[in-house]
Amino acid sequence: MRKWTLASAAVAAVLMCAGLVPALAQKKSPKPDAGAEAAGKVYTLLKDNCYSCHGEPGKKVYGERGQLNYILDHTKLVEKLVNKDKPEDSKLYTECNDGSMPKLVDATGKVRGSKKLPQADIDLLLTWIKAGAPAWPDPNAAPESKLKWKDLALTGPDGRLGFNMAEGPKGSVVLYGGVNLTAMPPSAPKDTWVFSSGKWAKQSPKSSPACAGLSSMAFDSKRGVTVLWGGMNEMQAWLNATWEWNGTTWAQITTKDSPTARRGAALGFDSKRNMMVLFGGNADNADQDDTWQYDGKNWIKLDIKDGPSARAGAAMAFDAVNKQLLLYGGTGNTDTWLFDGKKWTKQDPANSPKATDGCAMASGAEGIVMVGGTTSADIMTAKGVNECWQWNGKTWVALPTGPAARLGAGLAPENKGKAFVCFGGRGDDGNLTDTWTLAEGK
Helix, strand and coil percent figures for the chain, each rounded to 5: 15, 35, 50
For residues 370-384, give the mean pLDDT: 83
For residues 258-267, give the mean pLDDT: 97
pLDDT at 6: 30
Decide: helix, strand or coil at residue 291: strand
Decide: helix, strand or coil at residue 15: helix
- Describe the crossing of helices 119-130 and 34-49 by its angle, rounded to 10 degrees: 130
Confidence of residue 12 (pLDDT cuts 50, 70, 90): very low
pLDDT at 185: 75
Amino acid at 66: G
Q: In the chain, what percentage of residues exceed pLDDT 70?
A: 86
State how far the Cα of 164 lies from the Cα of 411, in Å rounded to an integer: 9
State how far the Cα of 145 lies from the Cα of 151, in Å rounded to an integer: 18
Confidence of residue 19 (pLDDT cuts 50, 70, 90): very low
Sign of CA dihedral 238, 241, 243, 249: negative
pLDDT at 59: 57
Domains and CATH numbers, the chain: 6-130 (no CATH), 147-440 (2.120.10.80)
- Between these two residues, 401 and 337, which has the higher pLDDT value? 337
DSSP-derived secondary structure for 27-81: -PPPPTTHHHHHHHHHHHHHHHHTHHHHSSBTB---SS-TT---TT-HHHHHHHH
CA neighbor of 266 nearest in space, from 254, 251, 253, 277: 277
The answer to whether 167 and 226 have CB atoms below 8 angstroms apart is: yes
Q: Is the pLDDT of residue 24 over 50?
A: no
State how far the Cα of 351 lies from the Cα of 348, in Å rounded to an integer: 9
Mean pLDDT of the chain: 86
Confidence of residue 113 (pLDDT cuts 50, 70, 90): confident
Strand pairing class (111-114; 286-287): unpaired
CA neighbor of 42 nearest in space, from 125, 113, 110: 125
Give whichever of 8-12, 140-144, 366-370 has the largest mean pLDDT.
Answer: 366-370
Q: Is the pLDDT of residue 3 over 70?
A: no
Decide: helix, strand or coil at residue 92: helix
- Between these two residues, 80 and 104, which has the higher pLDDT value? 80
pLDDT at 97: 92
State how far the Cα of 175 lies from the Cα of 191, in Å rounded to an integer: 8
Q: Is the pLDDT of residue 244 over 70?
A: yes
- Count the alpha carbons within 13 Å of 195 in the hemisphere toward its beta carbon: 29
What would the pLDDT profile of 135-175 be if each residue is shown by its tens digit? 987 765 555 678 899 999 999 999 999 999 999 999 999 99
Confidence of residue 56 (pLDDT cuts 50, 70, 90): low
CA neighbor of 434 nearest in space, from 131, 158, 116: 158
For residues 237-243, give the mean pLDDT: 95
Q: Is the pLDDT of residue 187 over 90?
A: no
Q: Which residues of 41-55 are buried (b: 16+ CB within 10 A; e: fewer)?
A: bbbebbbebbbebbb
Q: Is the pLDDT of residue 26 over 50?
A: no
pLDDT at 111: 72
The answer to whether 370 and 388 have CB atoms below 8 angstroms apart is: yes
- Between these two residues, 254 and 113, which has the higher pLDDT value? 254
Look up the pTM and report it.
Answer: 0.71
State how far the Cα of 358 lies from the Cα of 374, in Å rounded to an integer: 6
Confidence of residue 57 (pLDDT cuts 50, 70, 90): low
What would the pLDDT profile of 294-352 be if each residue is shown by its tens digit? 999 999 999 998 999 999 999 999 998 889 999 999 999 999 999 999 999 999 998 99
